[in-house]
Structure 1
């Protein structure tokens, strides 16, 4: 992986990532309202510009979250999704990992697996020692991608209540760095 190329924080073979900016708000809102994406979040409500701007101000600007935009290398660096570390505990060296591909035509191209490896490398560089994630058990493609990146299942999370009142089983996975 080559770093710091063409304004990107990390460049891979298929995709590159760059830090999110306030100018990405419209894309994030569009992607988070994509039904395919929304169905894989516990928070399933319609995502608004105000929600994202508050997230940016209270989470990203405070360092509690490090978030990036995923761009396709072979399509003039078209933004296609986002990857992030949230609830960063720098003292303990832990954070929750999250990713979503917002553009439907970018799904199934192996971006998730490549991004996971790039993001975990970055996590190690910023001093994280353990990264964890939660995934709905029905999201088998994501679970396979996480397993490829070295995440291992550590716990079943039964009947997690989502913001819409529905309950679904999830798993907790982690990767020691």
Structure 2
């Protein structure tokens, strides 16, 4: 159903389209310019950064979104760029958590995620997957408005408690 591939230069225009679309960018910490030149600069920097991983999410051989991991602080994020597939978002995440906790970082105790306080859908997903809300909130300025950002943490033990339900969700993350 899902598979993941490392981003390539061939994906840059599509990722830029997703990242600047209203349904994605309204929940991102930063806004970016709609500039393929800047996207190419970002990609060159990405290729030099061994601590940052960025994958394209494929569903039935269609590119539908992206997921990334910053190994420096073990934070991550994702978005479904193709609007008609947004309801698949919750189904993508168990593949990622199994990769993180069972395949790639077996000694890792937790991963963190940041979510806008008004992003009720993702907060609901995180709660379903065993996340705990941390007590630190902070504000970011986006489109000249203050938005509250909340930090969530998924402990490996909480994820493993759900193992029976999600153990079949396995995929390679090259």
Bin of the TM-score, shorter chain as denominator length: 0.7 to 0.9
Distance (whole Å) between structure 1 residues aligned to residue 53 and residue 32 of structure 2: 23
Question: What CA deviation, in whole Å up to 9, does each residue of 1:98-136 have, x standing for no partner?
Answer: 00011111112xx22222111112222222432111111
Aligned twin of 2:114: 134
Moved over 6 A (4+): none
1:54, CA displacement in angstroms? 2.5
Aligned twin of 1:95: 74
Distance 1:51 1:149, change over 3 A: farther
Determine which of 3, 8, 25 is the counterpart of 1:38: 25
**Long gaps (5+) in structure 2:** 157-174
Aligned twin of 1:80: 64
TM-score w.r.t. length of structure 1: 0.78
Distance 1:55 1:146, change over 3 A: farther
Aligned twin of 1:174: 153
Distance (whole Å) between structure 2 residues aligned to residue 17 and residue 150 of structure 1: 23
Distance (whole Å) between structure 2 residues aligned to residue 18 and residue 24 of structure 1: 10
**Long gaps (5+) in structure 1:** 1-13
Q: Does 1:16 align with 2:42?
A: no
Q: Which has the higher contact order (CA 8 A, sep 6+)?
A: 2
Q: How many residues of Structure 1 are paired with residues of Structure 2 in the alignment?
A: 153
